[in-house]
Each structure stands twice: as C-alpha cells, then as structure tokens.
Amino acid sequence: MAKIIPLSGGEENANQLVTVQLGDFLVDIELHYQQSGQWLAYVLPNGDAGELPTYTVNDIEYLFPAIMLEPGCDIIKSYRVTDLFGQLFIAGDEPTLENLGTNNKLVWFAPNEVVSYS
C-alpha cells in the first residue's frame, strides 16, 4: 500500500524535517528550498539502515543525499534500491515554495508494489 509523506509549503517551511516509517525503515527526510526554485531532499536513516547502502558526507550518514523533487519519476531510482527500500515519487504539480504538499504529494511505494510512469 502506498504511503503519502506529509509535506508543508510556504516560506516558513523552506527547511523542514519529517520523520516517517517506510516499511522496515524509520527515516528522517530533510527538505530544503533552493534559491534556484527547486526542492532538495536528504534521506537519513533514523536507526539501523539494514542492508541499504549509506553515503557519508561531512560526517553525516545518508541513504539518499541531495535528491531533486521532480514529479512523475522515481526520485531515488539511480540508487538502485527498489528491491530493498521501494520507490519515492512526487505525484502532482512541480513543487514550488508555496504548493509543496498541497498540489503535489511525496509518495512511497513498498518493494512489493513497484510502479512505473509511461
């Protein structure tokens, strides 16, 4: 079953942290709005990362560092962890500072419910 991860738009939420259970993994998702008009997400393990590979940047351990929130595609596809972690999609409109979480949603799909866009 897909899970919608709650996000909030607006200038007061230009930097936010969401902690969410995604299947077997408790993760922290940091979101930062960029001057370029794009949102970047950083996914960090909140506890044991299990078999998932991690990436250390400036002494911080990430599952997925610096992911652009682009609609209509699996935003973590390049990490090749679909069979272990699942997929993350932005569904809806292109995220802006004001419409994040309103006109779009961050949706996680478990490994056993892999989806694709055509």
pLDDT in the model for residue 118: 52
Contact 19, 46 (CB under 8 A): yes
The β-bridge relationship of strands 15-22 and 3-5 is: unpaired
pLDDT in the model for residue 115: 85
Report the C-alpha gap between 106 and 7 in whole angstroms.
7
Residues of the chain with pLDDT under 70: 117-118
Task: Output phi, psi for 11, to 5 deg.
Answer: -55, -35
pLDDT in the model for residue 116: 73
Report the C-alpha gap between 96 and 22 in whole angstroms.
24
pLDDT tens digits, residue range 18-41?
999 999 999 999 999 999 999 999
N- to C-terminal Cα distance for the chain?
20
Contact 84, 51 (CB under 8 A): yes
Displacement of CA 13 from its chain's centroid (Å)? 16
pLDDT in the model for residue 114: 73
Task: Output phi, psi for 99, to 5 deg.
Answer: -95, 0
